[in-house]
A and B are shown apart, each in its own frame.
Chain A
Amino acid sequence: MIHKHRIKDKSPALDALIWFVMIFVLLACVLPFLYIIAMSFSSSRAILNNRVSLWPVEFNVEAYRQVFAYPNFFKAYGNTLIYTFFGTLISLCMMVLFAYPLSKNRLKGQSLVMKLVVFSMFFGGGLVPNYLLISSLKLTGTVFAIILPFAINQFNLIILINFIRSLPEELEEAARIDGLNYFGILIRIILPLLTAALATVGLYTAVFFWNDWFYALIYLKSYQYPVMLLLRNIVNGTTMVGEAGGVGEKAFVAIAIKSAVIITSTLPIILLYPFLQKYFVKGMLVGAIKG
């Protein structure tokens, strides 16, 4: 009966509107991307004469050849993969270890630590003190300079804490009765149930490490730079201007190269989304609602 009622309520006009909106959103997301892909495979002449729309004109891979020919391009790409993989791994380990005890209200000092976590979300030390800290820890010039300070992200930590709190307390009680200690409970009971949340937080963290260029710039040597810093430099080629003007304004990076750079830098991380999407949505919802 209810089912019938719902079908009766379905309006073709509403359906059409939903379809229209969805198609509009889809096109708004996809078209710019297709346009950039088309430009990256087109000749500069065709681009500058407004002949390129959604399909490459005078197809060539010259832009990609030039991007790949940049000194250290592949080294930088390798660096990024390493930073993203190990950064995410370390970050997830540390956040889980931090989130689990903080999810227990009965733990002494939990409230104070939680306040400190939230405080640090809003107040930072600033660039110079942070730089001095990292430098005094002898981390500059090492990969740890860009991984350790960002291993715990407060926002992601809160998602994990909420997720763990949403799990039934009885599970842990049963495990304790069966003789598991806290680490055993975390590893054998909590972690397997955290998959969705870890996928969500992991994706956030991976995107952060993938996109980061600033901390690599200030803490690392040029041979350790991630690909984002390299690509940023290429894309900024035309906009670097000194106050007095001159050399920077003469610099000219072809639009096809810029397009190739955009594709090269975003494609790998975009390809990750479909695989993590189901966890991602679930993780977002569970993290947001306390069970």
Chain B
Amino acid sequence: MKKLLSLFLAALLVLGLAPLSLAEEPIEISLYYSDNATLPFRQDWPVIQTLEKQYNVKLNFEPIPMGDYSTKAGLTLSTGENTPDVMLYLSTGGAYASYALNGAIVPISDYAEWTPHFNARVEEMGLQQDVDLNRLGDGKLYFLPSLFDLPFYDGGLILREDYLVKKGFEAPKTFDDLYNIMKAYKEDYPDSYPLTSIVALRVVQRMTMPSFGVSVGRNTGTGTGTLSWDYEKKEYFAGAISQQYKDYITFMAKLHAEGLLDPELEQDNASTAKKLATGAAMAVYGYYDQIGGWEQASEIEGFKLNMYPPLEGPGGAHHQPKSKTGSGLLFPIGVSKRPDFEQVVRKLDEVFYSEEATKLWCFGPEGDSYTMDGDKVVYNDAILSSADGIYKYMQNAYGTGCAGLQNVWYLERELTKYDDNYARINAEVAAMDNAIQYTVPVPSFDDVTAEDASLLQTTLLDAFNVWDDEFRTGKKSIENDWDAYVQDMKDKGIEQFLKLYNDNKKL
């Protein structure tokens, strides 16, 4: 009897344990994440918790401060020591191309059959050509980029709408309109400098130059500093010494001379906010998200800001160029040594690019952050009534919409998180003639050419920055010193630099 009982108990034990041993253990994946101080990472964000449960995966995030992300990622890649399974929010631009070509990064395009969800999103969004532009000189793709169906107009000219209404101005359409508005403001408030910027002059430059048919400076659309892209001829031209740039700098010098342009543009956001809130400035090149904070900070009665579509200049009405692909998932070579490498790649593909996951990254868990009313997304009351706005609140509370985590972006879905005004502005910009042009892919340089190009780029950009500053502030005359400037740039090799880029261009 005793024997029978023990046999019975043993059988029960085996049967009871059987389901446990059959249950698949969650696969553990380590990830580097670029942590933004304004949106500190939380492992307990509902989006991450849901993903882990839904896809039976354990995501071990390593949040690294955004400002130091590149240092840490670069160091581990270059030494090959202590690398995680995947690094988020990276691409193969700059030094990373060298790491890739030297074998530190997995050529993920060799494993295309393991990334069916990524492939499906690329096809569905029609981005194959955009993705291919990220291939390096050996024809391989070394990271899975983030994907955008349409470029967002999330920042641009922001103006005091209350002033326009008060003075009876129409919304500006051209740079001449903007000039007239600022001139009037200066007359009303002689101590003011009407136009300011967030961070630095380069923000104004990158957002306004395309309307003059050129894009040069530190944030140039080509990443070269002194070259621009001719969208008709599909080739580079020496933007820094072009007539287009001459027109642009003449306009900026005029603003400066007449006290319409803030002379202190190198500033943190608190300074920008101060200038706007106190009326020391009335126009700024910044981002839509920032408007709320600036309005709240001001004690001026009726103070109201609004964002406007790109203004028209001699080169049309364009905003800074944007790419439909961005930084994404980069696999250090160490992960390929894992026996379950294929499962890791497949799981990450599912977590970041599957249709269900992309919805989760954008809207949060259904039934928690939102419900569906037919085709319409309805966010919960806490989200809708938040003082921070839907987007910011959802980021903090759910972990949605975080650059670096969300890798698939549909404009229509994103607009559900903004007010109608933002949707209206974006619709207006989308209806304009190619207002946001594409960014030019980095040429396929070999190591030696890349070194030559890099040396020339630094020399030319340094010289350009000095001349640009002197032209704008009137220390040098555009009329009298232009030829000397052009000659200086030629002496420093701008033509040779141009040839290097045109000889190796991808388009």
Interface set, chain B 42-67, CB cutoff 8 A to A: 42, 62-67
- Complex Cα distance A211/B365, Å? 41
Pick the contact of A240 from B42, B66, B155 — CB < 8 Å? B66
Please give, as numbers and ranges, the residues of chain B lying within 8 Å of A252 by CB-CB distance.
38, 269, 290, 293
Q: Are B65 and A236 within 8 A (Cβ)?
A: yes
Q: Are A251 and B79 within 8 A (Cβ)?
A: no
Please give, as numbers and ranges, the residues of chain B lying within 8 Å of A232 by CB-CB distance.
65, 67
- Complex Cα distance A73/B202, Å? 34
| A195 interface residue (CB < 8 Å to B) | no
| B331 interface residue (CB < 8 Å to A) | no
Q: Residues 232-248 of chain A: 1 if any B CB is under 8 Å from the residue's CB, otherwise 0?
A: 11111111110111111
| A132 interface residue (CB < 8 Å to B) | yes
Q: Are A251 and B223 within 8 A (Cβ)?
A: no
Q: Identify which of A16-24, A86-94, A215-223, A262-270 touches chain B.
A: A215-223
Q: Report the minimal beta-carbon distance from B42 to chain A, rounded to whole angstroms.
A: 6
Please give, as numbers and ranges, the residues of chain A lying within 8 Å of B473 by CB-CB distance.
none
- Complex Cα distance A239/B269, Å? 8
Pick the contact of B75 from A218, A243, A244, A247 — CB < 8 Å? A218
Please give, as numbers and ranges, the residues of chain B lying within 8 Å of A233 by CB-CB distance.
35, 37, 65-68
Q: Are A243 and B71 within 8 A (Cβ)?
A: no
Q: Are A128 and B37 within 8 A (Cβ)?
A: no
Number of interface residues of B (CB under 8 A): 50
Please give, as numbers and ranges, the residues of chain A lying within 8 Å of B82 by CB-CB distance.
135, 140-141
Interface set, chain A 138-170, CB cutoff 8 A to B: 140-141
Q: Are B36 and A247 within 8 A (Cβ)?
A: yes
Q: Report the minimal beta-carbon distance from B400 to chain A, rounded to whole angstroms.
A: 15
State whether A127 and B219 are in contact (beta carbons under 8 Å apart), knowing that A50-B278, A236-B65, A251-B38 are contacts in the complex. no
State whether A217 and B64 are in contact (beta carbons under 8 Å apart), knowing that A233-B35, A238-B268 are contacts in the complex. yes
Q: Residues 48-75 of chain A: 1 if any B CB is under 8 Å from the residue's CB, otherwise 0?
A: 1110000000000000000000110000
- Complex Cα distance A244/B155, Å? 13
Kindly report which residue of chain A lies nearest to residue B198, judged by CB atoms: A249
Q: Residues 189-202 of chain B: 1 if any A CB is under 8 Å from the residue's CB, otherwise 0?
A: 00000000011001
Q: Are B65 and A48 within 8 A (Cβ)?
A: no
Q: Are A249 and B199 within 8 A (Cβ)?
A: yes
Q: Are B79 and A245 within 8 A (Cβ)?
A: no
Interface set, chain B 289-312, CB cutoff 8 A to A: 289-290, 293, 296-299
| B133 interface residue (CB < 8 Å to A) | no
Please give, as numbers and ranges, the residues of chain B lying within 8 Å of A248 by CB-CB distance.
36, 66
The B interface is mostly helix, strand or loop, or mixed, namely: mixed
Please give, as numbers and ranges, the residues of chain A lying within 8 Å of B223 by CB-CB distance.
243-244
Q: Are A237 and B38 within 8 A (Cβ)?
A: yes
| B203 interface residue (CB < 8 Å to A) | yes
- Complex Cα distance A251/B40, Å? 11
Please give, as numbers and ranges, the residues of chain B lying within 8 Å of A50 by CB-CB distance.
274, 278
Q: Are B403 and A247 within 8 A (Cβ)?
A: yes
Q: Report the minimal beta-carbon distance from A257 to chain B, rounded to whole angstroms.
A: 9
- Complex Cα distance A272/B190, Å? 50
- Complex Cα distance A280/B203, Å? 48
Please give, as numbers and ranges, the residues of chain A lying within 8 Å of B249 by CB-CB distance.
none
Pick the contact of B67 from A45, A222, A236, A258 — CB < 8 Å? A236
Kindly report which residue of chain B lies nearest to residue A217, judged by CB atoms: B68
Q: Are A45 and B296 within 8 A (Cβ)?
A: yes
- Complex Cα distance A165/B465, Å? 56
Interface set, chain B 176-231, CB cutoff 8 A to A: 198-199, 202-203, 206, 218-219, 223
| A254 interface residue (CB < 8 Å to B) | yes
Q: Are B78 and A128 within 8 A (Cβ)?
A: yes
Q: Are B277 and A48 within 8 A (Cβ)?
A: yes
Q: Are A222 and B37 within 8 A (Cβ)?
A: no
| B287 interface residue (CB < 8 Å to A) | yes
Q: Are A217 and B198 within 8 A (Cβ)?
A: no
Q: Are B40 and A217 within 8 A (Cβ)?
A: no
- Complex Cα distance A135/B81, Å? 7
Q: Are B42 and A251 within 8 A (Cβ)?
A: no
- Complex Cα distance A131/B273, Å? 42
| B72 interface residue (CB < 8 Å to A) | yes
| B7 interface residue (CB < 8 Å to A) | no
Pick the contact of B40 from A47, A71, A141, A249 — CB < 8 Å? A71
- Complex Cα distance A135/B198, Å? 41
State whether A135 and B79 are in contact (beta carbons under 8 Å apart), knowing that A217-B71, A249-B287 are contacts in the complex. yes
- Complex Cα distance A230/B79, Å? 25
Q: Residues 118-133 of chain A: 1 if any B CB is under 8 Å from the residue's CB, otherwise 0?
A: 0000000001100110
- Complex Cα distance A230/B35, Å? 10
| B148 interface residue (CB < 8 Å to A) | no
Q: Are B63 and A140 within 8 A (Cβ)?
A: no
Please give, as numbers and ranges, the residues of chain A lying within 8 Å of B257 by CB-CB distance.
none
Please give, as numbers and ranges, the residues of chain A lying within 8 Å of B320 by CB-CB distance.
245
Q: Are B299 and A217 within 8 A (Cβ)?
A: no
- Complex Cα distance A1/B507, Å? 94
| A227 interface residue (CB < 8 Å to B) | no
Please give, as numbers and ranges, the residues of chain B lying within 8 Å of A229 by CB-CB distance.
65
Q: Are B37 and A253 within 8 A (Cβ)?
A: yes
Pick the contact of B37 from A49, A236, A243, A250 — CB < 8 Å? A236
| A102 interface residue (CB < 8 Å to B) | no
| B501 interface residue (CB < 8 Å to A) | no
| B245 interface residue (CB < 8 Å to A) | no
3 closest Cβ pairs, A-B complex: A233-B65, A237-B37, A135-B81
Report which A residues bind B (CB closer than 8 A). 44-45, 47-50, 70-71, 127-128, 131-132, 135, 140-141, 217-218, 221-222, 229-230, 232-241, 243-255, 258
A/B interface sample: 9 pairs, CB < 8 A: A50-B274, A222-B62, A233-B37, A236-B67, A240-B36, A240-B67, A245-B219, A248-B36, A253-B269
